[in-house]
Amino acid sequence: MTCLIIQLNAVTNRHQASKYEHTALPQTQKTILKALSRIERIANIGHWYYDLKDNSLFWSEEVFRIHGLDFDDYTPNVDAAIDAYLPQDRETVELALSKAIEDKESFEFQKRIRRPGGEVRHVIARGECELDDKNTVTAIFGTIQDITKIKLQEELYELAALGSNAALWDWDVKKETLRWAGNSAEILGFKNKKDLPQTTEDFAIKLLHPDDRKKLNKAFVAHFKNQEEFAIDLRLSTTGKHYRWFKARAQAQWEANGRAIRICGSLNDVHDLVETQEKLAESNEGLREFATIAAHDLKAPLRSIGGFLQILKDKHIAALGDEALEYLDYSINGANDLGVLVEDLLQYASLQADGITPTEFNLDKMLKRSLRTMKATIKEKNAKIDFEKLPTVICDEHKITRLFYNLIENALKYSTKTRTPHIEIGYKKKINNYQFHIRDNGIGIPPEKCEDIFLMFQRLHKKTDYTGTGIGLAICKKTIALHGGQIWVESELDRGSTFFFTIPFEDDAKDGEKDGAKEEGQ
Ligand code: ADP
């Protein structure tokens, strides 16, 4: 090849290398040179030849392109070629060249050049010496490769790795090597990157909690064999003494035969989160205990107070004056209200502490049952209730029953005296969820209060007008939030309100009964 280039230099006026057609070279050589020029352009690698005898430098077309210089207007020379490198890189370049000549050895460096327009390009330059019979270096043949694109991608990857604040790893399964990126050393408690484990075995010994080994193996096997998602929590000893919780995520690469050859992943420190969750679980347990104690220790005495006051009133009604009777009524009502308040508060507290237990639940049967339970109130209010055949969904049956009950009870309670209460219950199947609605033609809610009423103790009326504790809708909101849904109301004052709520689908939700026709209620 060198011989071909020298020949080319000789026959073309040195820098017209692309104009092979006009040279005296044989056709086969012209074809080879054309192909070479094409390969260089495609691969972004140019070649150069530094002749030490006359201190001349030859550049192939691609070297000109890499330098952003015009093939016809520029004559390369060694000094200018070195000057093309950034000032801070020049010394290394000069050193590499002189060392190569001195030691008669090949060299390689990765540095940056600046084009005449100011654009910086990342290049890899490689070269090897040519020697004469007396073992003296006569020339250097070299290549220069523009790696700016790769370099920018690497920089982007490195920046993303640093920004993610995760330890990033790359395991070559065949070679059994482990590479790290980003802030891995710092995150895993090592002083230097080179101290990081270099094999998975090393990782298991140096970092992994012995009790988590099985779990990690299982996750690898499930991912490699069945391509299951790899996302587990592990304990790693980042200080050599104490373990911290990390979330490990990974993605493998498989060969055509299904064998995993590489797996890359991240380790995120989630220790504080796990600790907070543990504390939360503890405090939930405390809350649950409180709720149970309160249920027994508060409800029972309250019931006795109310009961005995009632007995006192019934037995001694004749002996009591009007004023005493009035006070007694206040006390009985107060005890009853307190009982309801305690009951509602307990419900809210236990909702917070217990979360939900989702199962497949036939809402249609539940609704019919609930309406039967409310039959007396419905009759008393002379209410008309229309409802669709509701679907079977995955939800917490007790809590969702309670929610329907609360909303229907409110729709009955907040009816007007001037209109026959009419309540409609239905749903729509949306893309990700079921959207239910309970519509009434009652007193309505001012638009500016439509969000507030879902907060604890938010009531828009006096107790004497409408009884209640102001907790019911807060319970509904919490219930729906625990199901991953949303609840809201659309209302017009004195026209009525529609409460909407959604219950997201579960993969295995059974919605076979969703197409039920509208049925008339009671
Ligand atoms: P409670 O009914 O015990 O007061 P809720 O939390 O169930 O408590 O409701 C909060 C407030 O929202 C009620 O006090 C009432 O003012 C208003 N509200 C709830 N449902 C309706 C409805 N269907 N129509 C009109 N107002 C309603």
pLDDT of 271 > 70? The answer is yes
Q: If you measure from the C-alpha of residue 395 to the centroid of ligand 1, how many angstroms do you get, rounded to a whole number? A: 24
- Residues 72-90 pLDDT 10s: 888 999 999 999 999 999 9
Question: How sure is the predictor about 211, in pLDDT bands with cuts at 50, 70 and 90?
Answer: very high
Our answer on whether the CB atom of 498 is closer than 6 Å to any ligand 1 atom is: no
Q: What is the dihedral of CA 28, 34, 40, 42, to 10 degrees?
A: -120
- In sequence order, the 6+-apart residues with CB closer than 8 A to the CB of 420 are 382, 383, 384
Residue 444 has a pLDDT of 96
Query: Cα angle vertex 268, ends 157, 243, to 5°?
Result: 140
Distances (CA, A) of 385 to 168, 378, 399: 60, 9, 22
pLDDT of 248 > 90? The answer is yes
Residue 301 has a pLDDT of 84
Within 10 A of 514 (CB to CB), how many other CB atoms are there?
A: 17
Q: If you measure from the C-alpha of residue 227 to the centroid of ligand 1, how many angstroms do you get, rounded to a whole number? A: 50
Sign of CA dihedral 384, 390, 395, 397: positive
With a pLDDT cut of 90, the percent of the chain lying above it is 62
- What is the rounded distance in angstroms from the CA atom of residue 520 to the CA atom of residue 301? 44
Short-list 370, 360, 366, 367, CA closest to 392: 360
Residue 20 has a pLDDT of 52
With a pLDDT cut of 70, the percent of the chain lying above it is 92
Contact 502, 433 (CB under 8 A): yes
Return mean pLDDT, the chain.
88
Predicted TM-score (pTM) of the model is: 0.53
pLDDT of 11 > 70? The answer is no
pLDDT of 69 > 90? The answer is yes
Contact 351, 399 (CB under 8 A): yes
Which residues pair with residue 310 across a beta bridge?
Answer: none
Residue 31 has a pLDDT of 85
Our answer on whether the CB atom of 458 is closer than 6 Å to any ligand 1 atom is: yes
Our answer on whether the CB atom of 443 is closer than 6 Å to any ligand 1 atom is: yes
Q: Which of 193-197, 330-334, 413-417, 460-464 has the lowest mean pLDDT?
A: 460-464
Residue 522 has a pLDDT of 31
Query: H helices within 44-86, ranges in order?
Result: 61-67, 78-83
Contact 493, 444 (CB under 8 A): yes
Q: If you measure from the C-alpha of residue 290 to the centroid of ligand 1, how many angstroms do you get, rounded to a whole number? A: 27
End-to-end, the C-alpha distance of the chain in Å comes to 97
For 222-229, what is the mean pLDDT? 92
Question: How sure is the predictor about 350, in pLDDT bands with cuts at 50, 70 and 90?
Answer: confident
3-class secondary structure, 438? strand
Q: If you measure from the C-alpha of residue 472 to the centroid of ligand 1, how many angstroms do you get, rounded to a whole number? A: 8
Q: What is the DSSP string of 212-263?
A: GHHHHHHHHHHHHHH---EEEEEEEESSSSSEEEEEEEEEEEE-TTS-EEEE
Look-up of token digits 């309250």 = 302
- What is the rounded distance in angstroms from the CA atom of residue 436 to the CA atom of residue 488? 11
Crossing angle (nearest 10°) for helices 472-482 and 322-354: 10
For 27-52, what is the mean pLDDT? 89
